[in-house]
Copies of this chain bind each other. A is one copy, B any other.
Amino acid sequence: MRFCPFSQRVHLILDAKGIPHHKIYIDLIDKPEWYKDYSPLGKVPALQLTSVKEQPTLVESLIITEYLDEQYPELRLFPTDTLQKAQDKILIERFAPVVSAVYPVLTCNPSAPTDALTNFETALDVFEQELARRGSPYFAGQTIGIVDYMIWPWFERFPSLKLTTEQKYELKPERFGLLLKWRELVSQNEAVGKTALDAQLHADFQSSKRLGKPQYDIAFRA
């Protein structure tokens, strides 16, 4: 699904590593019958390994990502150090409270809790602090790495809040200064550019979804 942040994670890794692939987008509401043969629970993304014997399909964005990183190790995205790798995975897990707090606002849910954005900022503080603690432009260091790519899809979507919320919400530079610099840097990454959709398009999609008829295809209107 072209607007799915979890699918985007996998697209980013495929592009970052230059792995030849073919994308098929599906309608998540009106799922094609054949899709459950690839993803039994109907979740996206699913990656079929067409050059592997029996052409198995993998699901779960993080599992796919780690598989691709091990299988195509020319550009290593996960740390090779076992402990650092575990700590990066824990940091990626710590993004779940950010997502769950902001999700109702991001999806223009009229019954979003009134403290949703407050909780979102509290959860995001962890990442501002972690960038400060690591003292590097990217979470991975001097170059982009796995944490950067795995949390990016939501940062691409946050600017749509300015267009969809009454208070024209934006991340405040005095609180999220390092993350805003990081966002600027990451947005210039080549793989990120290849999968990018702009804030207006994300806002339009969420509006269509709230109205009960998600317009998946507007991503392709060019």
Question: In chain B, what residue has the closest Cβ to A43?
Answer: B93
Chain B neighbourhood of A71, CB < 8 A? 82-83
Indicate if A97 sits at the interface (CB-CB under 8 A). yes
Indicate if A87 sits at the interface (CB-CB under 8 A). yes
Contact of A83 among B56, B82, B83 (CB under 8 A): B56
Contact of A60 among B66, B67, B85, B89 (CB under 8 A): B89
What are 27 pairs between A and B in contact, CB < 8 Å? A40-B126, A41-B94, A41-B97, A49-B83, A52-B83, A56-B83, A56-B87, A58-B86, A58-B87, A58-B90, A59-B90, A59-B93, A60-B89, A60-B90, A60-B93, A63-B89, A63-B90, A63-B93, A64-B86, A66-B86, A67-B82, A67-B83, A67-B85, A67-B86, A70-B82, A71-B82, A71-B83
- Which of A60, A64, A126 has its CB near the most chain B CB atoms (within 10 A)? A60
A70 to chain B minimum Cβ distance, whole angstroms, is 5
Chain B neighbourhood of A56, CB < 8 A? 83, 87
- 8 Å CB contacts to B: which residues of A136-158? none
Give the number of copies in the complex.
2
Q: Which size class do A's interface residues fall under?
A: 20 to 34
Question: In chain B, what residue has the closest Cβ to A88?
Answer: B63
A93 to chain B minimum Cβ distance, whole angstroms, is 6
Chain B neighbourhood of A41, CB < 8 A? 94, 97
Chain B neighbourhood of A59, CB < 8 A? 90, 93
Chain B neighbourhood of A93, CB < 8 A? 59-60, 63
Chain B neighbourhood of A67, CB < 8 A? 82-83, 85-86
Bound complex: CA of A214 vs CA of B85, how far in Å? Answer: 36
- 8 Å CB contacts to B: which residues of A50-104? 52, 56, 58-60, 63-64, 66-67, 70-71, 82-83, 85-87, 89-90, 93-94, 97
Q: Hey, what's the 0/1 contact readout for A31-44 against B, CB within 8 Å counting as 1?
A: 00000000011000
The 8 closest A-B pairs by CB, nearest first: A67-B86, A70-B82, A63-B89, A63-B86, A71-B82, A58-B86, A60-B93, A63-B90
